[in-house]
């Protein structure tokens, strides 16, 4: 009894401190308190994914994936390996407790106020990954890679130097934490390298590279004649013709030019729309769709993970039943191009988090890049509409420096001013899927190049420009 009483006193003491701090900081600084549930949810989900999806050491996840903010030291997590769940709260007291549970095929799901039994009832019953025996199937569909010398067009020494620099840690105060690099040239896997504790079978987090996968799923539906991206987007909240958002198109959502009010910030300003959506809301698309218009569509480019989740829910509604929707990415994309490892994370409403959460191996991310390089053709089958990647990499007019298309980043810039491109020394046809903390799939058709870099660089500045310049210099054009 005395132990229980003591524990309650500790809990109420901490709560009192929190309330006093909240009063001290005042209403304008309430974000200091609001960060706590966001941080607890972030850590619970990161650990749930790290243990049950990625197979990584929890200490590594704690140190690297959530080490970018000292506040995370205040959030103590408990891992239930039998139930495949992780809970996290302030100092382990149960205050601001957040829980993530692992669901086979859907990854870690934050409960976000939804009863745990409701989330555990999600049973997608996905088709088996294909090919069944990748070791016996030649690359790129499988993992059977012939032992051949590097292509004559590749300078192996320069290529190796570029890879070495990407993994080097010359500044202990600014760690890159590169975890994986895969380089394809003319469809061939010419080099891959992994950090300690990471292997070619380790699933790694996409962050916003997931948006480019969402783009491709839309493209598949366009080819099937099930959606017109230039029609008003089928969003239930906007169905009234009197709603000022009624005319927003799926194309505008994909181009981040919808005009919806949205605040996209991460570590520097944690209490943001994107963090509230990802870590506190059970239905990400509903949260984003409820946002009011800030400006007229196509007048401003403003990066928004919210619109990606609206598009993900559009896919859900267009596809049909819940079971068909859950199977859709695997049947129509992953199994067709050999992405055996891919797991598309879901929110508590059952909608894929099309903005941020896809887990896959570096090789599978490279396969996706190769699929894009081939304009959606794989093994002779056209999966995307012809010219879909040209559409996806056509610059959104209001995007600064010509840096964004439709859920893909581009190096278009200004034709006569290469210094104004994102990567000035790289060709203009370079485009890429991009994620927080340095997750990237680069595709450069003119160089026949696909490059995957995955890591945990807290400020995302891992030296991508220098690395790409080094790779380009290793190709004898």
Say if residue 387 is in the same domain as residue 248: yes
Q: Is the pLDDT of residue 321 over 60?
A: yes
Residues of the chain with pLDDT > 90, as a percent, come to 87
pLDDT of residue 29: 55
Helix axes 210-223, 322-329, angle to 10 degrees: 110
Q: Which of 142-151, 175-184, 218-227, 233-242 shows the lowest mean pLDDT across its residues?
A: 142-151
Say if residue 101 is in the same domain as residue 205: no
How do residues 409-464 score in pLDDT, each as one tens digit? Answer: 999 988 778 888 999 999 999 999 999 999 999 999 999 999 999 999 999 999 99
**DSSP conformation class of 351:** -
**DSSP conformation class of 324:** H
Q: Is the pLDDT of residue 17 over 80?
A: no
Residue 309 lies in a domain: yes
Q: Is the pLDDT of residue 56 over 70?
A: yes
Say if residue 116 is in the same domain as residue 185: no
The residue range of the domain holding 212 is 181-473
pLDDT of residue 176: 98
Say if residue 76 is in the same domain as residue 191: no
Distance of CA 350 to CAs 128, 334, 469, Å?
A: 20, 19, 42
pLDDT category of residue 8 using cuts at 50, 70 and 90: low
pLDDT category of residue 148 using cuts at 50, 70 and 90: confident
pLDDT of residue 25: 39
Say if residue 345 is in the same domain as residue 214: yes
Residue 174 lies in a domain: no
Residue 27 lies in a domain: yes
Say if residue 211 is in the same domain as residue 346: yes
Say if residue 114 is in the same domain as residue 196: no
pLDDT of residue 9: 57
The CATH number of the domain holding residue 411 is: 3.40.710.10
Give φ, ψ of 433 to 5 degrees.
-90, 135
- 336 contacts 364 by C-beta, under 8 angstroms: no
Residue 145 lies in a domain: no
CA R_g for the chain: 23
Residue 97 lies in a domain: yes
Say if residue 96 is in the same domain as residue 212: no
Q: Is the pLDDT of residue 1 over 60?
A: no
Count the neighbouring beta carbons within 10 Å of the beta carbon of residue 205: 26
Residue 385 lies in a domain: yes
Out of 105, 120, 135, a domain closes at 120
Q: What share of the chain is helix, strand, coil (3-state, %, to 5)?
A: 40, 15, 45
Q: Is the pLDDT of residue 30 over 80?
A: no
Say if residue 190 is in the same domain as residue 266: yes
Say if residue 116 is in the same domain as residue 216: no
Count of structural domains, the chain: 2
Give φ, ψ of 271 to 5 degrees.
-85, 80
How do residues 64-113 score in pLDDT, each as one tens digit? Answer: 999 998 989 999 999 999 999 999 999 999 999 999 999 999 999 999 99
How do residues 253-272 score in pLDDT, each as one tens digit? Answer: 999 999 999 999 988 889 99
Looking at residues 4-22, what average pLDDT do you find? 51
Q: Is the pLDDT of residue 11 over 70?
A: no
Distance of CA 392 to CAs 27, 66, 248, 287, Å?
A: 43, 33, 18, 26
Residue 205 lies in a domain: yes
pLDDT of residue 414: 81
pLDDT of residue 3: 54
Say if residue 209 is in the same domain as residue 321: yes
Q: How far apart are CA 85 and CA 115, in angstroms?
A: 14
Out of 120, 140, 172, a domain closes at 120
Indicate the length of the chain as a whole number.
477
Out of 120, 151, 168, a domain closes at 120
Angle at 205 between CA 199 and CA 206, to 5 degrees: 120
Residue 171 lies in a domain: no
Say if residue 114 is in the same domain as residue 188: no
Pick from 414, 418, 410, 419: nearest CA to 442: 410
């Amino acid at each position: 009894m005395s132990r229980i009483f003591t524990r309650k006193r500790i809990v109420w003491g901490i709560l009192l401190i929190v309330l006093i701090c909240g009063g001290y900081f005042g209403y304008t600084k309430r974000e200091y308190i609001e960060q706590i549930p966001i941080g607890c949810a972030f850590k619970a989900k990161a650990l749930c994914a790290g243990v049950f999806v990625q197979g990584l050491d929890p200490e590594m996840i704690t140190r690297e994936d959530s080490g970018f903010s000292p506040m995370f030291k205040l959030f103590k997590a408990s891992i239930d390996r039998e139930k495949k769940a992780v809970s996290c709260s302030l100092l382990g007291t149960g205050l601001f407790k957040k829980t993530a549970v692992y669901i086979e095929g859907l990854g870690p799901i934050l409960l976000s106020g939804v009863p745990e039994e409701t989330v555990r009832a999600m049973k997608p019953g996905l088709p088996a990954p294909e090919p069944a025996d990748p070791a016996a199937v030649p690359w790129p569909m499988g993992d059977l890679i012939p032992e051949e010398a590097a292509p004559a067009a590749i300078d192996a020494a320069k290529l190796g130097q570029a890879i070495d620099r990407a993994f080097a840690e010359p500044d202990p105060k600014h760690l890159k934490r590169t975890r994986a690099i895969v380089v394809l040239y003319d469809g061939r896997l010419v080099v891959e390298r992994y950090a300690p504790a990471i292997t070619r079978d380790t699933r790694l987090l996409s962050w916003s590279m997931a948006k480019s996968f969402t783009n491709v799923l839309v493209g598949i539906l366009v080819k099937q004649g099930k959606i017109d991206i230039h029609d008003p987007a089928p969003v239930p909240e906007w169905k009234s013709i009197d709603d000022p958002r009624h005319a927003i198109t799926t194309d505008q959502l994909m181009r981040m030019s919808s005009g919806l009010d949205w605040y996209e910030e991460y570590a520097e300003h944690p209490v943001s729309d994107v963090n509230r959506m990802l870590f506190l809301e059970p239905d990400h698309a509903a949260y984003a769709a409820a946002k009011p218009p800030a400006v007229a569509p196509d007048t401003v480019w403003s990066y928004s993970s919210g619109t990606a989740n609206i598009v993900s829910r559009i896919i859900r509604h267009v596809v049909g039943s819940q079971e068909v929707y859950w199977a859709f990415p695997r049947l129509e994309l992953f199994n067709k191009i050999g992405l055996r490892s891919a797991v598309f994370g879901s929110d508590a409403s059952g909608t894929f988090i099309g903005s941020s959460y896809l887990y896959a191996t570096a090789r599978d991310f490279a396969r996706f890049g190769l699929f894009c390089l081939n304009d959606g053709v794989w093994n002779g089958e056209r999966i995307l509409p012809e010219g879909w990647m040209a559409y996806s990499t056509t610059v959104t007019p209001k995007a600064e420096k010509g840096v964004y298309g439709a859920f893909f980043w581009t190096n278009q810039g200004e034709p006569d001013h290469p210094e104004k491109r994102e990567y000035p020394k790289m060709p203009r046809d370079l485009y890429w899927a991009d994620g927080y903390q340095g997750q990237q799939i680069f595709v450069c058709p003119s160089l026949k190049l696909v490059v995957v870099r995955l890591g945990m660089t807290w400020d995302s500045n891992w030296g991508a420009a220098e690395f790409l310049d080094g790779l380009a210099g290793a190709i004898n054009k």
